[in-house]
Structure 1
Amino acid sequence: MESVTLDDIEAAAARIAPVVRRTPTVESRVLSDRVGAPVLLKCENLQRTGSFKPRGAYNRIANLSADERARGVVAASAGNHGQGVAWAATELGTASTVFMPLGASLPKLVATRAYGADVHQVGHTVDEALIAAREFADRTGATLIHPFDHPDIVAGQGTVALEILEQVPDVATVVVPTGGGGLLAGVAAAMHALAPHVRVIGVQAADAAAWPSSLAAGAPTALPKMATMADGIAVGLPGAVPFAEVAALGTEIVTVDEDALAKALVLSLERAKLVVEPAGAAGVAALLTHAIPNLEGPVVAILSGGNIDPLLLTRVIGHGLSAGGRYLELRVTIADRPGALSALLAVVGAAEASVVDVSHSRTASTLAVDEVEVSLTLETRGPAHRDEVLKTLRDAGFGVRAEP
């Protein structure tokens, strides 16, 4: 299979330079302190359409012939690739059609239409949407713009690495959120050509990690199932083009769990003041959990996207705060008599925890006739304070069950 060369990536950089943003790379003091080495964030969440995807999409469509562009382009996407294709096609005067799953995020659906695409919702997964996109291409003559499995896409995504080398010339490690592998392969190819000493590491969500088993098998291998909040990297089968590049270069892959993704998103929002989607925060999650052995700095973590549904953001923030010890959910059994709930809340107040939510039930089968179960959600100052609140309640004689 033809590999992606430095010439391909540099040509893509020249091609897209007039239209894409040169995104900033900013230092993160909190991450630097956590990992013991300088950490910088490459803010592709600030790219046009909110992710790195326009780089590859524009490069791919710009390379089509006039006749191919006249027949239009088609894509399948959960959101970011579709927005990138829609924007790039409009920039180049080409009609675009995007197939999205029925459960696609409403903001991503609306944005894809706003960038100029004719959007159809089909199936429940990107794979099902891709089948529909292929059928549309066969029927109409439109060119399928695959999200990651094409040399032009990989070359376009590799332009991120050229910017990193210009912005952080002494970079030692680059951490890359990874789904189908287009961004990872492009970055790895560019680094191998220009700075082979730089360590490139892909990060996958643990419950949607097709790359480790694929690399072990020596060929792209489909996952039987996957489930993650990080829809931008939820890809069940690596692309053949990126796989060949990544495997040949010996690029490493690590995984992170859902709690780590949620904590990373909250940290990016709270400390870096950057809105990042769960997939875009995967590199930060790997750094927070020390998932990368023998890490050397300076480290650049690519924030690959910032397109997150506000409803999901609300849930993920809550999950991240809970995982970080900032929320405490517990159940307490108290006597069913006047003043008992007030006494419980007085102890909570004395422990300096803030009540977020409180409810009580008399109907649980485990309760005696004179008992009430109180469910509390408390805001705490972190893991140490969380433990202090629990100890204070138990020392006061309350039977407490903390939710995991």
Structure 2
Amino acid sequence: MGNTQLSISGEKFLINGRLTYSELPNSPASTHGLLMNARFIQGVFDDRAQQERFARFGRKTFDPDLHTDELIAALPEWYAHGLRAITVGLQGGGPVFTIEDWSSIDNNPYSADGLSFDPAYEARLHRLLKAADEIGMVVIVSLFYQAQIHRLRDGEAVRNAIKTACGILKKGGYTNVIIEVANEYEIAGFLAYPIISSHQGMAYLIELARESSGGMPTGSSLMGGATNEEVARASDVILIHANNCTRQEYYNMIQKVRGWQMNKPIVCNEDSPCIGMMEVAYKTATSWGYYNNLTKQEPPADWGITEGEDTFFARRMAAGLGIELPPLEEEEQFVLQGFEPHMTVDNKRWIRLASLYPERIDYVEFFRNGELVDLAFNEPFMIRNQTTWIQDAWVMTEEDKEWKAVVHLTDGRSIEKKVTLS
């Protein structure tokens, strides 16, 4: 029996028989039973193809064991701000900003037939699950990712891999695990495997994972904004993604799922850095998942609560849960990001304006050396925005001397944030 024993009652989660967050003296009753979470998908990451390319962001080497241990070391700080779950992928996720061909990464613990599991991955997974268990956190273990699934030879290998991974979880006796069979199972990389990419096949795999794990709560996610009733009925936890959704679209998705009257927890375990979406989660009493590509999905990840987006997410989460923190002055509620010393690859930087209250922003102007280069009207406020979770890079040159963001607030005021480069 673990220290953190997760159970489910209707739509609500309990840890050790008590509704989550009910232990916090100032927590609103509407938050009791939620599972606020973050996508730390690279928690057991390695690249056996070209490990040396991840010796970056100020690192001279990439050490997969150190990478996992640094995540473990960061968990208590996140817990103190209210985070109660993280999503970790056995096949990781995509370094969206820096690697074009994700399939060139060999981040896969399964043999081609799915019957064996890499001992190094297993050791990292056990350390992480045990560390989370010790402090009261849940780990959503995602079994398959589209860019690595091709390393399994066929549908039989997929079934074998589920039995293998879930057998490891069962043998570990973990009581703080939720299983996500596949991350966005209908996405292109899975189409060669109908047993994963079809709704009927996924419903079967969810049942297989539940049985093979000894009854651990199980589900699977679709792409942002998508849902499926058959898969939801097969699931113990209804996992949804909200990437590139507006707040209204996210709300409508939750209402659609609730309309099926399944009385199961609804957990968004992937969205974006759009922390304004948390208001929808709190209003609907559903769980929300923060997803920061740059700080948490580009290996080596900086697992701590970094300045800017991470800090503002942590503070907004804490505020919604009744966790009191020292207030920030208004000037501290805005950060012009992308200029952190080591957050660059091939002179590329990802420039954006982070805010504690993005809902109060009308639009943001970005200036380079006094010249307007871009405007952002929606959260997250990024130059060269593509979606809520992707932006194109700015290639820095010696001509980049000063960057400035002029933040136009909805109350008519404006605030400037400036970075001067040496």
Q: Which has the higher helix share?
A: 1
Normalising by structure 1, report the TM-score.
0.31
Provide TM-score, normalisation by structure 2: 0.30
